[in-house]
Amino acid sequence: MFLVFGGLVSCLQAHDLSGLGYDPHGHPPEVPASAGTNSSPSTGLAWIFAPFAPAVSTREDGSYLYVNSTGFPDHPMMKGIRSWQQQIPIPQDYSGQNSWRLPLQPVPASSPAMIRGRFLRGAIALAANGVPIFNPQNNRGEIALEIGELDEWGGHCGRADDYHYHVAPLHLQEKVGSGQPVALALDGYPIYGLTDPDGTSPKDLDACHGHETPELGYHYHASKSYPYVLGGFHGEVTERENQVDPQPRAQPFRPAGEPLRGAEITDFQKTGPDAYELTYRLRGESWHLLYSIRNGKLMIETRKGNQTIRKETFDRREDRPRPPR
């Protein structure tokens, strides 16, 4: 009656090939404890990302799930930001050697690593649509949502023009189905919405904002106030230079921007293949950034009303070799 792991994989592939898509109202596949041989049973995690195929794709080896994405959501972005550092959304190449890596068999940590004031760089989780989720605190330790840094979908762009969320993207439930996870934490445990799949409020949440249930095992719950995503990692993670390691790197085209006081982003549109327009208001005037990414170059035209103020071109910065140790 339940699919074993191999069956699950072929089921998802068949769905992808047939174009039937993913049943948003289905329940996570359950795997009988006897499905494994000597190791602990695999539950699989790729199905969390299946609603967003083919934009988001996955592969796995015996230990890890690898997720490829561009970090670009299929919903609008940027509108509503009132505290802006002049970063713009640019698709990233999170694939191949630079893909997301998540443990297929998460291991509970002997003591959880709490995230307040910690893990302030990089992602702590990956949303089902392949967009990274950062700590609810920004890299200066402020709660990003509470200081107007985030758009209506809980995201903004980092110093490398990399779009990411700082809260759990509950709006993804429209696509994944209510009662389904909206993200996977980098320790390998899923993040569900505000309720359990049966619609009830989660009970006995621990300091990490998760709990264990017979149906789902250990999982986190998002919240509408701090910690928004998770309070700490229940599972083992490696911490290096204030972030979970390893994780993909965003590749910048240009130096990080400065805060533009008084600006409010009012619109963002895709205007063509690899071309975008971001609109903001500043001191009563409407400003537009028209930009495109072609042949490894970023071209940006800045307009105030209909008047072109400047045009800039940037080459994608190559990864600098690491300094000798």
Q: Which is nearer to Zn ion, 66 or 119 (CB)?
A: 119
Q: Say if residues 168 and 134 touch (Cβ distance below 8 Å).
A: no
Q: Which is nearer to Zn ion, 71 or 158 (CB)?
A: 158
Question: Three-state DSSP class for 96?
Answer: helix
Residue 66 identity = Y
Residue 52 identity = F
Q: Which of residues 274-313 bind Zn ion (CB under 5 A)?
A: none
Per CB under 5 A, which region of 113-121, 158-166, 267-275, 281-289 contacts Zn ion?
158-166
CA–CA separation, 147 and 103 (whole Å) = 33
Q: Starting from the edge strand earliest in sequence, which strands make up the sheet with 64-68, in order?
A: 57-60, 64-68, 100-103
Q: Which is nearer to Zn ion, 44 or 210 (CB)?
A: 210
Cβ 221 to Zn ion shortest distance, Å: 6
Q: Which is nearer to Zn ion, 51 or 71 (CB)?
A: 71
Question: Three-state DSSP class for 301?
Answer: strand
Specify the pairing of strand 243-245 against strand 210-213: unpaired
Per CB under 5 A, which region of 74-82, 155-163, 305-313, 316-324 contacts Zn ion?
155-163
Q: Which of 325, 10, 12, 24 is nearest to 174 (CA)?
A: 24
Cβ 304 to Zn ion shortest distance, Å: 27
Residue with tokens 């537009």, as numbered in its chain: 288
Q: Which of 182, 174, 66 is nearest to 133 (CA)?
A: 182
Residue 228, both tokens: 């928004």
Cβ 187 to Zn ion shortest distance, Å: 16
Per CB under 5 A, which region of 101-109, 117-125, 152-160, 175-183 contacts Zn ion?
152-160
Radius of gyration of the chain (CA): 20
Cβ 324 to Zn ion shortest distance, Å: 31
Q: Which is nearer to Zn ion, 57 or 190 (CB)?
A: 190
Q: Say if residues 21 and 12 touch (Cβ distance below 8 Å).
A: no
Total residues interacting with Zn ion, rule: CB under 5 A: 3
Cβ 23 to Zn ion shortest distance, Å: 21
Q: Which is nearer to Zn ion, 122 or 202 (CB)?
A: 202
Cβ 22 to Zn ion shortest distance, Å: 21
Q: Which is nearer to Zn ion, 89 or 158 (CB)?
A: 158
The binding track of 182-221 with respect to Zn ion, each residue x by CB under 5 A or -, is --------------x-----x-------------------
CA–CA separation, 123 and 134 (whole Å) = 4
Q: Which is nearer to Zn ion, 52 or 84 (CB)?
A: 84
Per CB under 5 A, which region of 57-65, 74-82, 151-159, 244-252 contacts Zn ion?
151-159
Q: Say if residues 206 and 234 touch (Cβ distance below 8 Å).
A: yes
What distances in angstroms separate CA 87 from CA 149, 153, 300, one per listed residue?
A: 11, 16, 12
Interaction between residue 162 and Zn ion (CB under 5 A): no
Cβ 7 to Zn ion shortest distance, Å: 26
For the chain, the residue count is 325
Chain residues in the site for Zn ion (CB under 5 A) = 158, 196, 202
